[in-house]
Chain A
C-alpha cells in the first residue's frame, strides 16, 4: 500500500468517527497548547524582568549592608554608614555618582486619611537618575536641602492618590509619624521593579530619616547606618576592578578582612543572572508539566486505538482476506494514530498561540510566543503519536485472519 493510500484511508477513518477522533485528539490538543502557553508566559515574564532591570542601567553596583544586631545593650556590629558613601565617591576611581538609601516605615496622615506602615525611603539627590525614575509633578529635594534636613517629601504615585485623591498635593502638609512635612513633588507611576513597588513609597531627605525615623544612640560614635549604596560607574571602566576597590576600601574602613566583610557587593549583571536562573527553573518546571500532559494525551491515543482495533477486528479480517499483509495493517493503524496526533498538534498550536495572545491581552501578564516551543510541542506530539500508536497497530497486524473474520 502506498503511503498516500494509507493517509487517505486513515483520514477517512478519522472522519467516519468525528466525535471519537476529537475526543482522542483532545489530550494532544491540551498538551500542545499547554506547552505553548506556559512557555509564552514564562518568556513574557522573563522579558518584562529583563526590561525592568536593563532600564536601570547596567553600570550600577549595589553595596548592601549586612548588619548584625548586637546583644542587649550592645551596639549592632557592622553594616554600612553614611560616611562610607562619601569615602567611595572620593576614594574609588571610575565612579560617576553615589546614592545612599535608608528605609523606615511610619503612619502617614493627611486630613482624615491615615495610612499605616508606609515605607519611607530616605535618599540623596541622585536617586532619580540612578533608579531611572521621573517626577510627575513638582520637584525633588536638592543637596542643600538634604544638608539642612528640610522636612520635605516626594510621594509615590499611588500613595499620592490615596492621600489626596483628585486634589493637588503640592505644598500641602502631611504628617509622617509625628513630624509635619511639606509635599514638594509626586513621582511618575513606575510599577513593580524586581519586587519593590516604589509607587506606594514616601521619599524624603536621608538626613531627615536619620534624625526622625531611625535614630540610634550609637550614631555619634559609628555614624548613621544606611541600607544601601548605589554606585554608578563609568561604562568604559572595568567594573570588576571598581568592585575590588570598593571592597578593599570598605573592609579597611570597617577594620575587617574580606572574609569577615559586613556588606555585599552585587552588580546589575548578578541580579540579571539570578533572575535568569529562577525563570529558567520556572520554565523547565512548566515544560515538564506540559510534557507530562502530552504523554497523557499519547496514552489517550493508545487507549482509543486499542479500542478501535478491537472494534474494527472484522474490518481487519476483511482487509486480510483480500490480501493485506501484516505490514499493510500496521501501516494503516500507525498512520491513523500519527494523523490523529498531528491534526491534534496543529489544532493545539492554534489554541496555544491564540490562547497566549488572549491570555496576554486579558491579564496583566505578558506572553511572548516562542517559535521554538511551537516546533518542540508539535514534533513531540508527532513522536508521541508514533510511539503510542505502534503497540495498537502491531496488535492489529498480528490478528489471525480467520479469527478476525469470525469476530462479531
Chain B
C-alpha cells in the first residue's frame, strides 16, 4: 500500500444542472485527493452536493468543468461507453437499497459485472469460481443459489459487497450502505467494510450519519457544493472494532 498513490484526484470539479438563468451549481469547485487504501466518508446535508460528487466519483456522470483523475487516468472527458468501461473495471458500488437483480440468484448477481467486462472476458466457470469465493468471504457460502427475496437485508447487502469486489476494483463507493438496515445488521456491514479496508481496499462512503462517518479515517464534509472541512478521525475508528 503506497501512501503516495492517489486513487482519486479532483481538480476544481464543477457540476451545473440546467441551462442559462435557471442553472444551479450542485458542485462548485471541489478539489479532493484520496489515496490508495484510505477509508473516507463524504458527509453533508441534503443539497450539499454529496450525491452529485458520488455520481461523478463513480463515473455515473461527468463534471461540467474541472478534472477528475481516477487511478491516474483523466476520466472527466470520457464518453458514455468509456465511462461504462471504467465503472466496470475500476469501481464497485454498494447502494443503500442493495440494488440486486430480482429473481436472480446471489451467484448470478455477483457475476453480473464480469458479464460486461469486454477487456478481460471470463468463462462462466471462471466467473462462478470467483463469485463463490467472494460469497464465502462475506459469509454467504450456504446461500449462493438464494434469490434476493429469500435473503435478509443484511445478507442482501453482503451479496452487493461481493458484487462490488468481483472485478477487483481500485475503488469501492458506498452510498449510505447501512441506511436501510437495523443497527445490528448495519454494524455487521461496517465490520465487513473495515475488514476490506484492512486488506487494502480503498473505500469512499457517502453518509449523513456522523456515527457511521466516525468509523472512517477521514471525513470530507460538503456544504453548498464546496468542501466545508476535512476532519481526521484518527486511529480511534480502528480500535472500536
Contacts and interface: CB of A to CB of B under 8 A. Distances in A.
Contacts of B116: 1, 319, 322-325, 328
A260 B61 CA distance: 87
A324 B84 contact: yes
B155 interface: no
A314 interface: yes
A322 to B, nearest CB: 4
A65 to B, nearest CB: 79
A315 B89 contact: no
A314 B102 CA distance: 10
Interface string B82-115: 0011011100010100011111100000001101
Nearest to A6: B115
Nearest to A326: B80
A405 B95 contact: yes
Nearest to B90: A323
Interface in A1-49: 1-2, 5, 12, 16
A1 B55 contact: no
A402 interface: yes
A197 interface: no
B50 to A, nearest CB: 14
A318 interface: yes
Nearest to A9: B115
Contact of A322 (B55, B88, B104): B88
Contact of A325 (B80, B93, B101, B102): B80
B127 to A, nearest CB: 10
Interface string B116-131: 1110010000000000
Contacts of B93: 321-322
Contacts of A328: 84, 116
B103 A325 contact: no
A16 B147 CA distance: 13
A320 interface: yes
Given A319-B112, A326-B80, A401 B121 contact: no
Interface string A60-99: 0000000000000000000000000000000000000000
B84 A325 contact: yes
A321 B121 contact: no
* Contact count band on B: 20 to 34
B99 A401 contact: no
Q: Is the interface of A mostly helix, strand, loop or mixed?
A: helix
B4 to A, nearest CB: 28
B131 to A, nearest CB: 13
Interface residue range, chain A? 20 to 34
Tell me which of A1, A12, A321 has the highest count of chain B C-beta atoms within 10 A of its own C-beta. Answer: A321
A283 B84 CA distance: 52
Interface in A118-136: none
Contacts of A321: 58, 60, 87, 93, 95, 99
Interface string A201-229: 00000000000000000000000000000
B113 A323 contact: yes
Contacts of B117: 323
Contacts, number: 66
Which of A323, A325, A327, A405 has the largest count of B CB atoms less than 10 A from its CB?
A: A323
Nearest to A314: B99
A323 B87 contact: yes
A318 B102 CA distance: 11
A16 B102 CA distance: 10
B81 A327 contact: yes
A401 B60 contact: yes
Contacts of A322: 87-88, 93, 112-113, 116, 163
Nearest to B54: A402
B1 to A, nearest CB: 25
B115 A5 contact: yes
Given A315-B101, A402-B55, A320 B115 contact: no
Contacts of B102: 315
A1 B84 contact: no
A1 B80 CA distance: 16
A16 B80 contact: no
Nearest to B104: A12
Interface in B181-195: none
B88 A323 contact: yes
A173 B58 CA distance: 105
A324 B112 CA distance: 9
Contacts of A5: 115
Given A318-B99, A322-B87, A2 B113 contact: no
A328 B100 CA distance: 18
A324 to B, nearest CB: 5
B99 A405 contact: yes
Give 6 closest A-B pairs by Cβ, nearest first. A323-B88, A322-B113, A323-B116, A325-B84, A323-B87, A324-B116
Interface of A: 1-2, 5, 12, 16, 314-315, 317-328, 400-402, 405
15 contacts: A1-B116, A1-B118, A317-B99, A318-B112, A320-B84, A321-B93, A323-B87, A323-B89, A323-B116, A324-B84, A325-B81, A326-B80, A328-B84, A328-B116, A405-B95
Interface of B: 55, 58, 60-61, 80-81, 84-85, 87-89, 93, 95, 99-104, 112-113, 115-118, 121, 163, 167
Given A318-B99, A321-B87, A405-B95, 4 more contacts: A320-B87, A326-B84, A328-B116, A401-B60
